Chain A
Amino acid sequence: MLSRVANTIYWLGRYMERTNGMLQVILTQYISSQDDISNFTWGPLLKMYGELSDEEINKIEGSSSEALKYMLLNPSNSASTLNNIIYSRENARGIQDHISKEVWQCLNDFYHFIRDGNKIKEDTLADPVSTIDQLIRNGLLFTGTVDNTMVRGEGFTFINIGKFLERAIHTSDITRIKMNELYNDKNDTFDSMKLRYLLNSLFGFEVYLKTYKGTFTKKNVLDLVLYNPNFPHSILYSVERLYKYFCRLRPESLPENYEHMEFLIGKTMNNVKYTLANENDSKSLNAFLSQTRLELFDISNAFNKYYFGNT
């Protein structure tokens, strides 16, 4: 496979996963905002999914409609959902002959849906939950279409490598942000609420209930989102998948490149697997999450170097 094509398809996977992740986080945040009248702010998310100065954030952090429009639909915000989809489609356009026709059409429909300017803006204002739900559904449709129509070749492998790498980064970021909110809040009566939101943001609420029943403890929540090998959004699951897809590249790789990458991914996987984060020590948890994030970025850089020819 051409290096450029591999790079493009890998980023297609990353952008789409990023879109799915951010939509779920924004949806959860919106729902929680309606529960929490007193000191609610969109500030942290505007920072994460935008490029505004502190001053500009101050102006809109209290308004859900402004914040949502900015994060979902603003064309000048390079991290907006709109732009993610535009980038995904530009990428897909450049490699149309390597994805199935169905995948291309699905992404193209998503693009036209979100580009439909005024209509979606009005809908977002009228009922944000339905609009975000529809966007999420479009994202899930994309994932399913990839799974059902793409041949299990290099293209499929790279799209999944992008997807699981992005997912691992996303889970570590959201966990860090949400857990720090919890540690910083001295009043612990809302702890279980905050843990619920963390789980919801990572599609983990139902799984948690089924696994641990109705008790919300930091330890159990961290066990689920960091280590659970069967929860598709846990860091361990994501890295293990990343490793699994990477191994498929062996016959298509130059041996020395393969060895470098295999070492990096294997190391990260084992670091996650065999490091026990202490749920009551914010420092140790932060150190673990930051270290994991750093290693994931190293993996991304190594792909650039060994597989995409970008040195």
Chain B
Amino acid sequence: MNTNSILESYRLPSNVWDEMFTDQGVRTSYKNFVSAIVDMPPAEMTHKAEIAKKLFMSQGITFTVYSSGEGIEKIFPFDIIPRIITGEEWTLIEAGLKQRLKALNIFLKDIYHKQFILHDGIIPSHLIYSCPNFLREMMNVDVPFDIYTHVSGVDLIRDDDGKFYVLEDNLRTPSGVSYMLENRSITFRIFPDLLPKNNVRTVKEYPDLLYKNLLALGNRQRSNPTVVLLSPGIYNSAYFEHTTLARLMGIELVEGRDLIVNNNFVYMKTTKGLQQVDVIYRRVDDEFIDPLVFRPESILGVSGLYWAYRKGNVAIVNAMGNGVADDKAIYTYVPDMIRYYLNEEPILKNIPTYRLADEDSKKYVFENIHKMVVKRTNESGGYGMLMGNTANDHEIQNFKNAIDAEPRNFIAQPIISLSSTPCYINGILQPRRVDLRPFALFGPEGINIVPGGLTRVALKEGSMIVNSSQGGGSKDTWVLA
């Protein structure tokens, strides 16, 4: 039998950093793993991939797509080949993220209080006030320990030079951490012994760290604060994650209708009457969280929650109003923030970004639009984007018109070629593009980043859009000790 069959079929894409291979062969970090699978017959690999799929299905790690009145169960596609990050690479990522989050958190405190950064002219005021996610309601609200970004998921990508760049900061209600945990639990079932043999660092402590941080935010007058997770309910696509986290932390999973505010205190309705709630880890967006202050038609939130929060009677995680810091137009200023607040050079670089409100940038982008990706500043999930290299003239013209009308709402970036990594598809290894979302927890004792994260992969051949809503999948992410 040809023992190298799995590897031989792999075609290295040109001008792209491949996570596993170089021209000279397998990277050192992957050698252990590759030697374990190289002798494996294709049938066994396929069998493993099927087992993984079945495990997701039978454990109900699914999301439901509602079409034609009937719910269809889908799993978030999982590729069995892990993505491996070396210890040195991780050290850099960790330091870079900590630095970045520290600066972003100070920025939020500053922007909702004295606004030094505007007075000193680092960021133009109109950019802040025109941002739809800047909440005037958060002005002069003091949040516990001055922490805004308790849970964040910063998306990183690797360009063809092998360096990591920040693609976007998700500081509102980033999701995906349950897949980091579940992917790992699937890997240790389908590849026995490989994790310890490779010295892979564990991600298990994530729920414990999160719970410890949540507990610390509870009113310090109470010995045993009540912490809950607020979910929009079973129809939310991340519902599985909400139940997983609630279960792993042993806290109550509540919906808006379970909570009530009385005299600026929050209570949950229990079989024994009302019980006071001290900390809410919410997975409901700002605009839906309190119909009295934000969208009045929302039934996902709790009337009066904002005032309870403002008075300090309940802690909310993440803080409201974080959207101003992960806005795509503000993103371009994060390196300046790091220099301004911390007096340090950014460890992790931004992708060069053109703000289209700036006339010169706009002109440059329009001239080079085929090499650009244009994004709306207030959308995510891979929507509201134009990939200049694949769009037709009509689409480009539409975008140009929209940009001329509202330049503040757009940014452009050169098309970065995301790194590729082998995926087991149709019985052979094929290169697919990936990004990385590590999850950071910011508590009173500092920032913790669990060594791992969610590697999202664009499963369509040639695609660079990794979002799950657009045909993306995920991989287990190994950080080596």
Contact = CB atoms under 8 A, between A and B. Distances in A.
A37 interface: no
A96 interface: yes
B231 to A, nearest CB: 9
Contacts of A96: 60, 243, 247, 253
Interface stretch (B79-87, B270-278, B348-356): B270-278
Interface in A1-24: 1-4, 6
A182 to B, nearest CB: 42
A2 B270 CA distance: 4
Interface string B252-269: 111101100000000011
A78 to B, nearest CB: 13
Given A75-B70, A105-B58, A108-B58, A1 B270 contact: yes
Interface string A54-95: 000000000000000000000100000000000000100111
Interface residues of B, number: 23
B270 A94 contact: no
B170 to A, nearest CB: 24
B258 A4 contact: yes
A2 B269 contact: yes
A94 B234 CA distance: 6
Interface SS of B by simple majority: mixed
B247 A252 contact: no
B24 interface: no
Given A90-B234, A93-B239, A96-B243, A1 B271 contact: yes
Contact of B271 (A97, A105, A253): A253
B343 interface: no
Q: Most chain-A Cβ atoms within 10 A of its Cβ — which of B246, B255, B258, B270?
A: B270
B272 A254 contact: yes
B42 interface: no
Contacts of B239: 93
A97 B243 contact: yes
B59 interface: yes
Contacts of A249: 271
A112 interface: yes
Interface residues of A, number: 26
Contact of B268 (A2, A93, A104): A2
B60 A104 contact: yes
Interface string B40-57: 000000000000000001
B59 A105 contact: yes
Given A2-B254, A94-B233, A97-B246, A105 B270 contact: no
A97 to B, nearest CB: 4
A253 B271 CA distance: 7
A144 interface: no
A208 interface: no
Contacts of A75: 70
A104 B59 CA distance: 8
Interface in A98-156: 101, 104-105, 108-109, 112, 154
A309 interface: yes
A112 B255 contact: no
A108 B234 contact: no
A307 B57 contact: no
Nearest to B273: A254
Nearest to A253: B272
Nearest to B62: A108
B253 A97 contact: yes
Contact of A105 (B60, B234, B252, B258): B60
Interface in B18-70: 57-60, 70
Contacts of B271: 1-3, 6, 154, 249, 252-253, 307-308
A112 B58 contact: yes
A2 B252 contact: yes
B234 A93 contact: yes
Contacts of B60: 93, 96, 104-105, 108
A116 to B, nearest CB: 11
Nearest to A7: B271
Interface string A259-276: 000000000000000000
The 8 closest A-B pairs by CB, nearest first: A96-B243, A97-B247, A97-B246, A108-B60, A3-B269, A6-B271, A97-B253, A307-B271
14 contacts: A2-B258, A2-B270, A3-B269, A4-B257, A6-B271, A90-B234, A94-B233, A97-B246, A97-B247, A108-B60, A109-B58, A249-B271, A252-B272, A253-B271
Interface of B: 57-60, 70, 233-234, 239, 243, 246-247, 252-255, 257-258, 268-273
Given A3-B258, A101-B247, A254-B273, 12 more contacts: A1-B272, A3-B271, A4-B257, A93-B243, A95-B253, A96-B60, A97-B247, A104-B60, A105-B58, A108-B58, A108-B60, A154-B271
